[in-house]
Amino acid sequence: MNEKDQYPIGRYKENLELHQQMQQQWIATIASLPFRIKEEAQSLTQLQLDTPYRENGWTVRQVIHHLADSNINCFARIKFALTEENPSIKPFAEKPWADLFDAKLTDIEPSLKILEGIHERWVALLENLEEKDWQKSFFHPELQKNQTIAQAMDKYSWHCKHHLAHIVNTKEKMGWN
């Protein structure tokens, strides 16, 4: 398996020092993702959407549906962290979710709409956090550790770019540009 195909922008590396300037970068990534995904996907045929981004990988369609599923979950985790004292979140089984009918076979338009709506609300929420809010946390039982909102946003900012790169790279590799 080609590491570059699986991790086109490199594996996620946890930042040990998170600072205020990074918050604006995370917000910009969250704000732009729905439009970037739509822009990359709008000209793709159904056959192209059903092309895996790598051998034994998800299809472009599954990646788009996965982003909607994943980002709904992250948005909820942040809201739980803001409204409860270090809540335990529910992880989701992303691979089985990506194998469900709605992710494998349905049109991408509903997920593009989900991304647009969730990201608009997510940006509004993040832009209005006070500095102390970024340090609020949730417990991730799968990772067996607490994660602050800042740490979650650092990871999800990477996650958005990671999957966008899957789509962009697939288009380039297949000559669809």
pLDDT tens, residue by residue, 107-135: 999 999 999 999 999 999 999 999 999 99
Question: 164 and 36 in contact (C-beta within 8 Å)?
Answer: yes
Number of domains in the chain: 1
What is the pLDDT confidence band of residue 1, given thresholds at 50, 70 and 90? low
In a domain, 169, yes or no: yes
| Structural domain for 26, as ranges | 20-174
> Dihedral through CA 149, CA 151, CA 155, CA 160, nearest 10?
30
Tell me: the pLDDT tens digits for 128-167?
A: 999 999 999 999 999 999 999 999 999 999 999 999 999 9
In a domain, 12, yes or no: no
* Sequence-ordered alpha helix ranges (H) in 42-148: 46-49, 60-83, 94-98, 101-105, 109-127
In a domain, 13, yes or no: no
CATH number at residue 129: 1.20.120.450
Rounded Cα–Cα distance for residues 150 and 156 (Å) = 10
In a domain, 148, yes or no: yes
Q: What is the pTM of this model?
A: 0.96
Owner of token pair 């609020």: 136
Rounded Cα–Cα distance for residues 66 and 114 (Å) = 11
In a domain, 11, yes or no: no
